[in-house]
A and B are shown apart, each in its own frame.
Chain A
Amino acid sequence: MAQTNNKELGKLSFEQAIEQLRKIVERIEQGQISLEESLQQYEMGMALIKHCRAILQQAEKRIEMVSTDQQGSDQMPSS
């Protein structure tokens, strides 16, 4: 189950991922779920954290790519 979730995780946007993470933390802190379920949620939360951090790190490379792109590769609309 955690693995399918991990696969789906890759598709989540940063905003979706961090929102889901927030909900998981709240659910576990409320303590109204079973130990087994909270273990699942914990794993899910850790996977989300990894995903979010990966996005934030990956992006630093993208920035540089864009900085070089910036000068001319974008075309103007033909008027």
Chain B
Amino acid sequence: MTYESLPVYSPSQINAIVRQILTEALPERLIVRGEIRDWKLHHSGHCYFLLKDQQAVLPAVMWANNFRTVRFRPADGMAVLATGYLDVYVAGGRYQLIVERLEPEGTGALQLAFQQMVAKLKAEGLFDPAKKRPLPRYPMRIGIVTSPSGAALHDICEGIQGRWPVARLLFFPVPVQGEGAAEQIARTIRWINQNKDRFALDLLIVGRGGGSLEDLWTFNEEVLARAIYDSQIPIISAVGHEIDVTVADLVADARASTPAKAGVVAVPDVREVLDQIGHYCSRLTNQMVSRLELAKAQFAAASASEVFTRPLTMIRSREQQIDELSVHLVDTLRSRVRRTVQVLDHYQVFVSRIEPHRLIGRCALAVSEARARASAAIASILAASRCQVEALAGRIQALDPRAVLARGYSITRNAGTGRIIRSIKDVELKDTILTELAGANIIESQVTAKYNQIRSVHGSDKQQGTG
């Protein structure tokens, strides 16, 4: 075997062949499930990262134009489904996955982004029911903001015109999907609001027909949600099919589940309104007819009354009434005077019966009787008091010490001190003593001795004393 027989390739050729083989061997588009590693967002907008499983890594790249459609923020460690194709980077000599679409595994990327957006705007109060503008009951000028190409415009117009041909419809064509669509719709809504005097719209309908979640994404964009929230003109959203709920639906003042249903939400049925007017008309007429009939009947009754038929009779009967009343009045006054005179007579009798002189005599008698009774009472009180005094004087006499003297007792005093002698100690030998007897008789004597009779029985010393 000679090496000369071996074919010679350039690196470019090799890479081209590998690329061809890869392209033939693998499906045109495939999904790789893996975990993001080494995520790098280059300032060019392109993204470079690795998709990894337990054994291996696969280089991946996502170009800026594709990355713009990614609604969530990829990060290292995130489990993802990467949709794209395998290609060879010829200059670098390596193969890599060109990722066109990146979704977090589990929930879809758009679903996640939708949830994140709803949570964010809800926290800011953009869905607050209190902030919703009331819809006009009879909108006369309605603006429709949608795509000129889809069926939505036709559906919305049909829905309105079938019910309420009264409204004038103004159509504002906008793109409803793809890049920049949300911005364009938002700008249109703001522009309509800025020129609201010119358009004089009562109501705006913003919508589009059904489509994939991605197609409907425009109506989940924050920029559009804010324009709807800021609008002074009430807005009805009419996006997609019944089951689709977008951020625009949540922030709008009312939601129609589909463009075709927008009319039911936006406008009344003209037949019902005409019925209502007819109803008002007949109520008014009925009321008026019955009121007029009542008035006619009242007039007939009034004109049939005596006032109109026999006016003089009325006057005569009134005159008669006056006469009767005046007679009655005089009678009444007269009998009242009579009654008063009777009352006065009655009292006069009472007064004449009073007789003052007898009254005085009766009083004088009573006074003298009272006086006699008083002096008798005083005399008896005095007699009783005198008895009491004599009894007391007797008792006092019995207590007089001098009364005892009459029975033989005497009182002895020390002439020097004048004190009554009660003890032997009250006198000294040679003291002069005075002995008082009954009848105020006094004996004056001198103490010659002092002794105690009881003690003298036992003792020898003798002292003379008096007692």
Contacts and interface: CB of A to CB of B under 8 A. Distances in A.
Interface of A: 13-15, 18, 21-22, 24-25, 28-29, 31, 35, 38-39, 42, 45-46, 49, 52-53, 55-56, 59-60, 62-63, 65-67, 70, 74, 76-77, 79
Closest 5 CB pairs of A and B: A59-B166, A77-B191, A42-B288, A45-B284, A63-B165
Contacts of A79: 184, 187
Nearest to A14: B138
A56 B166 contact: yes
B196 interface: no
A54 to B, nearest CB: 11
A28 B287 contact: yes
B173 interface: yes
A26 B116 CA distance: 52
A47 to B, nearest CB: 11
A49 B136 contact: no
B283 A21 contact: no
A1 to B, nearest CB: 17
Interface SS, B side: helix
Contacts of A39: 288
B291 A38 contact: yes
B277 A74 contact: no
Contacts, number: 90
A60 B164 CA distance: 9
B171 interface: yes
B136 A15 contact: yes
Interface string B277-297: 100110110011001100100
B interface, how many residues as a size bin? Answer: 20 to 34
Given A63-B165, A66-B169, A79-B187, A14 B280 contact: no
Interface SS, A side: helix
Given A46-B284, A63-B169, 20 more contacts: A14-B166, A15-B136, A18-B273, A18-B277, A25-B283, A25-B284, A35-B291, A42-B287, A42-B288, A49-B284, A56-B274, A59-B165, A59-B167, A62-B166, A62-B168, A66-B169, A70-B157, A74-B172, A76-B173, A76-B188
Interface string B146-167: 0000000000010001000111
Interface of B: 136-138, 140, 157, 161, 165-173, 184, 187-188, 191, 270, 273-274, 276-277, 280-281, 283-284, 287-288, 291-292, 295
B173 A66 contact: no
A25 B166 CA distance: 24
B277 A15 contact: no
B270 A56 contact: yes
A77 B188 contact: yes
A15 B277 CA distance: 12
A13 B140 contact: yes
B283 A63 contact: no
B136 A74 contact: no
A53 to B, nearest CB: 6
Given A24-B284, A25-B283, A28-B284, A63 B277 contact: no
Nearest to A57: B166
Given A13-B140, A15-B138, A76-B173, A49 B287 contact: no
A5 to B, nearest CB: 15
Contacts of A60: 165-166
A70 B138 contact: no
A70 B281 CA distance: 36
Contact of A45 (B188, B273, B280, B292): B280
B191 to A, nearest CB: 4
B117 to A, nearest CB: 24
A29 to B, nearest CB: 6
19 contacts: A15-B138, A21-B277, A24-B284, A28-B291, A35-B295, A38-B291, A53-B274, A56-B273, A59-B165, A60-B165, A63-B165, A66-B169, A67-B169, A70-B157, A74-B171, A76-B173, A77-B187, A77-B188, A79-B184
A29 B270 CA distance: 25
A74 B288 contact: no
Contacts of A55: 166
Contact of B280 (A15, A21, A62): A21
A13 B138 CA distance: 9
Given A38-B288, A63-B165, A74-B171, A25 B274 contact: no
